[in-house]
Amino acid sequence: MFTNGHKVMLMSKKAKVYFGSIQQGREALFAALAAKVDKIIELLDLSTIENRDKVAIKMHLGFLDGFQTVPVFFVRRVVKAVKKVGGWPFVTDNPTSVYNAVERGYTQETCGCPIIPAAGVKDGYTNIVKIGYKNVDKLEMGGALHDADALIDLTHSKGHACSGYGGAIKNLALGGYSAPSRWRKIHGVEQSIQYWDPDKCTPQHAKTLVKACPYGALKYDPKKHNLSLVLFACRNELCLECLKADEKIGCLQIKPEFFSAFQELMAINTKKVLETFDENKRFFLNYILQVTPHCDCMGMCQPSVVPDIGVLGSPDIVAIEQATLDLIAKVGLIDGSVPPYFKHANLDPSANLHPFERLWGPMKNPYLAIKFAEQYGLGSRKYDIVEILSPEETSKMKPPKQTYERQPSFY
């Protein structure tokens, strides 16, 4: 099958997803998350990385005033594992995040490897890739990412204002490209969908619609007589105040395609990044801790809206994303942690909605990008979860003699 010129494959094979829970059955190092992360990395089997392979550890390093990114504590463990098999790792992200990464504790010394901007210091070292989806003809992929021999997609799983969820796919689909590609083209794809009829709408009515939106998602330019709908701000089916204000005129539509176009493009962009690596040199790790409602791009501290879950690892990007969302769905939202600016959040437990749909609206269904990714042949949504050192298992293990101030002790 082909859609929009892109090959579509149907995947059915089950993928393995390794899971280390933050919960532990013993007050013991062997039962704690760091030990589980080490075991997951071991099971991922980095031995396909060859001697001197340049290994891109693609992260979102966050921005100035946010700290809820993947802790350097875990980055060091990944870096050590890559070096152990002979690879030469480097951490990579956009140049701004790299430039101020020190504010969040990321340096060459703390990570144990260089931190290199994915598309160079001026975001201009890029490879042009043909996309051909809606209004996006081509994009600029980060040259340093493109040059690498192996990839570790090291992701903080959290909410996202455009797609409900931001994880391993988002980390490559947006983070793998230069800022002009990200901000103008990828974050502009929804504008290829017609949602407003300018002939039916007077300037006065356009202003009424803008006023009706409680999230500032509608902007009107009277000079151009243009009403824009801002994807990230719109809460779609949770809200629909604009449609009430438009009842008598009927010039505006809140269409599912407006939201899904962004998610389909994410799947396509991710495919382009993954295609630059051998299939057996791609590894995925999702940190489902401090799950914030917004993306790390916000560069601010935010409340965690779901309980901490743990860490997942898989060679399959689709399976790890599916498992991540399923685990988040299982634990649900911490209602008391939902910020008051989610005025229309649906906290009714009987509603059949994913926690991220409760916040961002059902048209920002977090599973959409994953469904598209599977259709584009990036992996399988079917998975077997393999829990490493589960609390049940470790609770039965012999407790060690407790030691303090280890490695080494200055006491």
Applying CB under 6 A, the site for ligand SF4 has a residue count of 14
Of 13, 5, 37, 54, the C-alpha closest to 318 is 13
Residue among 215, 255, 277, 308 that touches ligand SF4 (CB under 6 A) = 215
Q: Does 240 bind ligand SF4 (CB under 6 A)?
A: yes
Q: For ligand SF4, which stretch binds (CB under 6 A), given 36-44, 46-54, 227-235, 267-275?
A: 227-235
Q: Does 206 bind ligand SF4 (CB under 6 A)?
A: no
Q: Beta-carbon neighbour count of residue 190 at 10 Å?
A: 25
Q: Does 381 bind ligand SF4 (CB under 6 A)?
A: no
Q: For ligand SF4, which stretch binds (CB under 6 A), given 122-130, 232-240, 369-377, 384-392?
A: 232-240
**CB neighbour list of residue 235: distance below 8 Å, 6 or more residues apart:** 215, 217, 344, 360, 361
User: What does DSSP say about strands 226-229 and 218-221: parallel, antiparallel, or unpaired?
Assistant: antiparallel
Please, which residue, 67 or 215, has the CB nearer to ligand SF4? 215
Which string of DSSP letters, residue by residue, matches 127-185? Answer: EEEEEEETTEEEEEEEHHHHH-SEEEEEEE-EEETTTEEESHHHHHHTTTB-HIIIIII
**CB neighbour list of residue 112: distance below 8 Å, 6 or more residues apart:** 75, 76, 79, 80, 83, 89
Q: Does 320 bind ligand SF4 (CB under 6 A)?
A: no
Q: For ligand SF4, which stretch binds (CB under 6 A), given 10-18, 182-190, 213-221, 385-393?
A: 213-221
**CB neighbour list of residue 171: distance below 8 Å, 6 or more residues apart:** 58, 59, 60, 153, 154, 155
Q: Which neighbouring-strand residues pair with 385?
A: 17
Distance CA 124, CA 179 (A): 9
Q: Does 58 bind ligand SF4 (CB under 6 A)?
A: no
Q: Does 249 bind ligand SF4 (CB under 6 A)?
A: no
Residue among 40, 49, 172, 213 that touches ligand SF4 (CB under 6 A) = 213
Q: Does 235 bind ligand SF4 (CB under 6 A)?
A: yes
Q: For ligand SF4, which stretch binds (CB under 6 A), given 29-37, 212-220, 294-302, 334-342?
A: 212-220
- Interface positions, 250-309, toward ligand SF4 (CB under 6 A): 254
Please, which residue, 213 or 312, has the CB nearer to ligand SF4? 213
List of residues contacting ligand SF4 (CB under 6 A): 212-213, 215, 217-218, 229, 234-236, 239-242, 254
